[in-house]
Amino acid sequence: MGRVTSRHKVLRLDVGGDSSRVIDTVACEEPLEIRLGDEVFTVTMRTPGHDIDLAHGLLRAEGVISSREDVVSARFCSDLDTLNVLRLDVPGRDPSRAVTSTRNLASLGGCGLCGTTAVDAIENVVAAKPPETLWEPTQIVAALDELRSRQPVFDKTGGVHAAGLVPAGTSGLAIVREDIGRHNAVDKVLGAALVTDVDTRGALLVVSSRASFEIVQKAAVAGISVLACVSAPSSLAIEAADRLGVTLVAFARGSKMGVYTHDHRIPH
């Protein structure tokens, strides 16, 4: 899998039992510097691959772009030895419009902002509330089952998250991406949708992680109607989903799930 995985020696211990030295496959983690023109916009740690999708998804979530036409070109800096610096040209778009405080919150996991301030910032870049698309519980279960079946890097390493998108009025995951960062996996999916003209409004987004504030942010900006995560929601994720009109489903495992906000979209 190239730079997606790497192999390392490891001593495996069984307390009270045998020990052995083996070769383990692990998920790669490398920094990606995203530049808008000559200016550094941000640096994120990610699993290499689908980097242009990631950048489009991130810039859309931050309110810098709203369509693929806003990006004139995207290319890796050829004067460097690695593919870890990506330059995008976005003429006429002001990077200072980015939800900078939210981007810092997502990157650092906490800052001096209060939750209400963070949600306020997102409301400024959300064009409209998501459509009132209904998603049956069985559709959510099927999407999460398919997501798990389409995680080759996780199968090899156990060290990455995945996200998948089911557009409204369809069945099956149209796009699946994996990454060591749960928010990067979501950016890659939503960025790929933007680049390939897959409509995200009213869609179902499934994620193999907890439901965090930054994932709700990205879902809301993309017009996702239902966000379903396999693990727990945070308090700020619930507050944001409630205010931004996203149906938030968490602890979605097997046939069980909890619907924390806007449960009218889930027939029951």
Binding residues: 251-256
Reported as half-sphere exposure (CB side, CA atoms, 13 A), residue 221 has a value of 31
* Active-site residue flag, 229: no
Q: Which of 184, 154, 162, 210 is nearest to 45 (CA)?
A: 184
3-state secondary structure of 57: helix
95 exposure class (CB count in 10 Å sphere: 0-12, 13-18, 19+)? middle
Name the active-site residue from 77, 111, 114, 229: 111
Helix (H, G, I), strand (E, B) or coil at 247: strand
Q: What is the dihedral of CA 94, 200, 29, 70, to 10 degrees?
A: -30
Q: DSSP secondary-structure letter at 245?
A: T
Would you state the torsion angle of the CA atoms of residues 148, 154, 158, 160, taken in this order, to the nearest 10 degrees?
-100
Active-site residues, by number, are: 111
